[in-house]
Structure 1
Amino acid sequence: MTLTLRKGLLGVAAISVMGAAFELAAERHWQTSQQLVPWAALAVLVVALAVCALGRSPRGVAVVRVIAVAVLLAAMFGVYAHVSANFASGPLDQHYADTWDTLSPLTQWWYALSKTVGPTPPLAPGMLAQSALLLVLATFTSRPRAGVPEETRTREPGLR
């Protein structure tokens, strides 16, 4: 069961990484050095995925967790940068230029977060955060005991 869960988490993380790479490529997200940060994050996530998939050593688990936390921090900065850029473009939006200053700050920030105003998608860096979180969760699945087939291992009560 835990091996299946671990493989599932790694599979969803891999799909998420590929989706983020596709989104970055579709947006041609490589024009500035700041736009290369998510590409670097994706590269280290691929390394972490490989380390997590190929081994379960304590050192490998630690490496995966460190990489995942670093990517999570970069992704949080990415969400902030995207929402801030959208917020700054709010007064320039053709639909809200005349009324932007009359909107409550909560409404302005919601419009920036939901991409109602601005060109940058805050969900894109969120995909990196999701991938990193899935990798961390995969490291917390229990380690198989040597020499004991998975189907004969003791299971928690109530699980069949």
Structure 2
Amino acid sequence: MTLRQGLLGVAAISVGGAAFELAAERHWQSLEQLVPWATLAVLVIALGVCAFGRSPRGAAVVRVLAGVVLLAALFGVYAHVSANLASGPLDQAYADTWDTLSPLTQWWYALSKTVGPTPPLAPGMLAQSALLLVLATFASPRRPGVPAESVTRTPA
């Protein structure tokens, strides 16, 4: 197994795991909750292009699609942290003291899921898959667009 195949395998497992998690959480109650499903579709397309295409154009397509997923993942982290931040004053443990906490502490509690119901790092799974696909476009002894004769090999 090559490094490229390993990266593609881990990316595929990550995509499948994210799909399972979204389905288990019934993450389709609003239009905003459909965003990660769309990014999963983009990741599946990128995975196919990366696995079956070895052209420079294919690598560029994978990288652009991965960039789109990374932006969506950043939006997901922001949306999750914002939802947690909004629920801070309603949290039983912090209701009386929420307004006295510094904004930095409030954001930290929202990011670390000390308050709120949404996991801010869940969108990170999508970003991880996208980054694995980008790495897979580079993880070949013969990079797309580089002629085989220009790749130097060391004698065994």
TM-score by length of 1: 0.87
1:129 to 127, 130, 134: 127
Q: Which residue of 1 aligns with 2:117?
A: 119
Q: CA deviation at 1:143?
A: 4.5
Q: Tell me which residue corresponds to 1:110.
A: 108
Q: 1:101 aligns with which of 99, 102, 105?
A: 99
In structure 2, give the amino acid aligned to 1:154: R
Distance 1:111 1:56 in 2: 44
Identity within the alignment, %: 82
| Alpha carbons of structure 1 residues 70 and 154: separation in structure 2 relative to 1, 3 Å | same
**Runs of 4+ displaced beyond 4 Å:** none
1:82 aligns with 80
Corresponding residue of 1:65: 63
Q: 1:137, 1:155 → 2: CA distance?
A: 23
> How many residue pairs are counted as aligned between the two chains?
150
For residue 49 of structure 1, what is the amino acid of its counterpart? L
Q: Partner of 2:29 in structure 1?
A: 31
For residues 59-78 of structure 1, the C-alpha deviation after alignment (integer angstroms, 9 at most, x for no partner) is 11111111000010011001
Partners of 2:62 and 2:134 within 8 A in 1: yes
1:72-92 Cα distance to aligned partner (Å, 9 max, x none) = 001100100100110011001
Is this contact kept in 1: 2:3–2:140, CA < 8 A? no
**Contact preservation (8 Å) 1:23, 1:124:** no
Matched, 1:142 2:143: no
Answer whether contact 1:56 1:143 (CA < 8 A) is retained: no
Correspondence list, 1:15-30, <5 A: 15-30=13-28
**Does residue 53 of structure 1 match 2:57?**
no
Which residue of the partner structure matches residue 150 of structure 1? none
RMSD of the alignment, in Å? 2.0
The one-character-per-residue Cα deviations of 1:82-134 (angstroms, maximum 9, x if unpaired) are 00110011001111101111222222111101111111111111110111111
Q: Which amino acid aligns with 1:15?
A: I
Unaligned runs of 5+ in 1: 148-152
1:5 CA displacement = 1.2
Residues 68 and 136, structure 1, Cα contact 8 Å, conserved in 2: yes
